[in-house]
Structure 1
Amino acid sequence: MTLTIRAMLRLRSLRVQSWQVCVERVPGRPTAVLGPGRHRRRRTATYQLLDTREQVVTVAPQEVLTADGVTVRVTAFARWRIGDPVAYTEQVADPLGWVYLAIQLALREALSTRDADTLVRAPRATLSEDAVEQLRVAATDVGIRLAEVVVKDVVLPPDLRAAYAELVVGRQRAQAQLEAARAETAALRSMANAAKLLDEHPALARLRLVQALPVGSRVELVHDAGDRPE
């Protein structure tokens, strides 16, 4: 079967998409990186296409002992992409596995210096900027550009989870009781002020009494002996 000219050109050329790079290796020459577009193939060369889009790797749950002796399960994820295609393909056999292990070790080192209460209150702050920067340097050595490392979850043992839940419920109940006491105190203070005002102004007290009577009631004013004319 004879090939058409177009088919022969396709066999002799290589198309690299906009989200890819191609690593070209020719014996006796430095490794070259081909960008997006169509490139002519060399007979003695080998080609490796790499995806340069950002990707996410999830670190499997691992058990870590905190500073106060509590074993917690921690999960994390990292956003990364290929930064140096040559280093990515030539430094280590599994560059992503290399970074994965570095993240696991960084998590263990960071969490072992904190107690469980701190981890529960602010789990995303467990990795300091210095630790993340060290991870970025380690990733760069194998051709990976590390954008972010985030601690997703910090899971406590069941008994501690129940204790923390009870603590939160008790705190909310105490807050509700405090608000109720404040409202009752404000109401009593208002009633005391009103009673003092009525005591100082008898006419106002009588007017308030009249206002409180049902509609249609008859009111008879009784004068004190001192108020009667001679």
Structure 2
Amino acid sequence: MTRNGTPLTVVQHGVVRGLWTVRDTIEVETFDLRTAHRIDPLEADRWARLAGLAITQAQIANHEAGILHLDGLQSGRLGPGRHAFWAATRAVRVVKHDLRPQTLDVTAQEILTKDRVTVRINLSAITRVTDPEVLTRAVPDVGQHMHRLVQLADRAAVGGRILDALLKERARVDDELTTQIRDRLGDIGLAVSDVRIKDVILPGDMREMLNKVVEAEKAAEANVIRRREETAATRSLLNTARLMENHPTLMRLKELEALERLTDKVGRIDVRQTAPVAGLPALLDTLMGEAPQKVDPT
């Protein structure tokens, strides 16, 4: 109902309203809500303040899908954009679903392993809505439903393994979790692409024990590597000794190399002649392995 072209009021079904038309122009536009439940969004903006709960509006983003419910019955899918509906004589509800991949985190779930060790597991699952209409009919609360499925699958996968197997077979456990959740999920318009264990949190005393075990294992590996290197070095020395035994020249070259390394560390050499056969010539003959030559004192 408008007065002089301006929205005046919304008169719902069964309500009688009387107005003076002496000085104002009153116009009444009626809508049959049995066949016409939609209203133009621009018109809805004009009447929103006066209509109150008689008009329901919804904004659907580009990455969303809206499911329209009239009096509790699913009445179709709404695309991106603005939508407005008359709600004077009926219950109008719009359920929106995000069509982008969503991350579901399940944190700090305590599970008892097969060897009776209590661990806390943090998981992440990637979900995506594939059919919003089917999903709306099948599941009232998608987040809670997925949370329960992930918890049940996690207990089945972790509770059936000992701690060592859980820590060593993380990839296999992730694949098993994904398969179990997909089987339990069924065809409800929701897909699970990936489920991964982020953290396995152990009790404090168990962490200390595992750290000691890992430390002992690494120490044993280091000892094996050290012995292998020592064996290789000894074998190399043995081969070198055999070569020098069969080749005196090579032995002489090794002696000269050792002499060169020694002389690099000597800053000064003093040679004193205390006998007729002495001095620098005798020292050089000794180093070169030759018999010292006698020097005629005359």
Match of 1:63 among 110, 121, 144: 110
**Is contact 1:59-1:100 (8 Å) kept?**
yes
Change over 3 Å in CA distance of 1:192–1:21 after alignment to 2: same
Q: Which residue of 2 aligns with 1:19?
A: 63
Deviations 1:65-109 (A, max 9, x none): 212222211121111132332333333432321221111111111
Change over 3 Å in CA distance of 1:177–1:32 after alignment to 2: same
Unaligned regions of 5+ residues in structure 1, if any?
224-230
Q: Which residue of 2 aligns with 1:136?
A: 182
Distance of 2:230 and 2:72 partners within structure 1: 89
Q: Which residue of 2 aligns with 1:48?
A: 95
Distance of 1:36 and 1:139 partners within structure 2: 28
**Is contact 1:83-1:140 (8 Å) kept?**
no
Say which structure is richer in helix. Answer: 1
Change over 3 Å in CA distance of 1:206–1:99 after alignment to 2: closer
Instruction: Kindly indicate whether residue 225 of structure 2 is the aligned counterpart of residue 179 of structure 1.
Output: yes
**Quick check: which has more Rg, 1 or 2?**
2
Match of 1:159 among 205, 214, 217: 205
The CA deviation at 1:115 is 0.6
**Is contact 1:123-1:152 (8 Å) kept?**
no
TM-score normalised to structure 1 length: 0.79
Distance of 2:72 and 2:41 partners within structure 1: 31
Distance of 2:195 and 2:114 partners within structure 1: 22
SS at match of 1:218: helix
Structure 1 vs Structure 2: percent identity of aligned residues? Answer: 31
Q: Which residue of 1 aligns with 2:23?
A: none
RMSD between superposed Cα atoms in Å: 3.1
Q: Which has the higher contact order (CA 8 A, sep 6+)?
A: 1
**1:1-230 matches, cutoff 5 A:** 2=6, 7-8=42-43, 10=45, 15-27=59-71, 31-38=75-82, 41=85, 45-129=92-176, 131-214=177-260, 218-220=284-286, 221-222=289-290
**Is contact 1:22-1:50 (8 Å) kept?**
yes
Unaligned regions of 5+ residues in structure 2, if any?
8-39, 49-54, 264-268, 270-282, 292-298
Distance of 1:30 and 1:203 partners within structure 2: 101
Change over 3 Å in CA distance of 1:196–1:38 after alignment to 2: same
